[in-house]
Structure 1
Amino acid sequence: MSKAFIAEIIQDSTGCTGVVATAAAGDLIAAIVGAIKKDGGFTLPSFGTVRVAKTKARKALNPRTGGPVKVKAGKTVRFKASPTLKKTV
């Protein structure tokens, strides 16, 4: 799924212009990112839950050299599909 796809769906369902639909798609994506940053995640009923998870520092291997590399602790985004979505797919 891409921003263009979302804009196309908005344009088809509302009958607005492509420019307005693209702006609305951008605003939608910005709102989702803002909710993840502010609240640490969000839930979209019948679709799933997105949350921020902390990752621990660890050792990994450099695939090019095969040597060990230290990976710092950080954050990642996790998605859990709702039971409704799982049943549909």
Structure 2
Amino acid sequence: MSKAFISQIIQESTDCTGVTANQAAGDLIAAIVKELKTTGGFTLPSFGTFTVRKTKARKALNPRTGEPVKVKAGKTVRFKASPNLKKAV
């Protein structure tokens, strides 16, 4: 799914211009990102839950050279599908 896909769906369902739909899609994505940053989670009912999790620093291997590489601690976003989404798919 892309921003263009989301804006196309918004445009078709609301009969607005492409520019307005693109701006609405951008605002929607920005609101989701802001919610993830502030609360660490976001839930779309009947779709699923996004959560932010911390990752620990670790050692990994460079696949090309096989050399060990240090990977810094960071954050990642996880998604858990709702039972309704699992049934539908």
Structure 1 Cα separation of the partners of residues 13 and 6 of structure 2: 11
Identity across matched positions, percent: 80
Where 2:42 maps in the other structure, the secondary structure is strand
Deviations 1:6-40 (A, max 9, x none): 11111111111111011100000000011001110
Residue 72 of structure 1, CA deviation: 1.2
Q: Are 1:48 and 2:48 matched, yes or no?
A: yes
TM-score by length of 1: 0.96
Structure 1 Cα separation of the partners of residues 47 and 58 of structure 2: 32
Q: Are 1:65 and 2:65 matched, yes or no?
A: yes
Counterpart in the other structure of 2:32: 32
Structure 1 Cα separation of the partners of residues 30 and 41 of structure 2: 13
Where 2:21 maps in the other structure, the secondary structure is helix
Segments ≥4 residues shifted beyond 2 Å: none
TM-score by length of 2: 0.96
Correspondence 1:10-29 to 2 at 5 A = 10-29=10-29
Structure 1 Cα separation of the partners of residues 65 and 13 of structure 2: 52
Task: List gaps (5 residues or longer) in structure 2.
Answer: none
Counterpart in the other structure of 1:77: 77
Where 2:75 maps in the other structure, the secondary structure is strand
CA RMSD for the aligned pairs? 0.7
Residue correspondences, number: 89
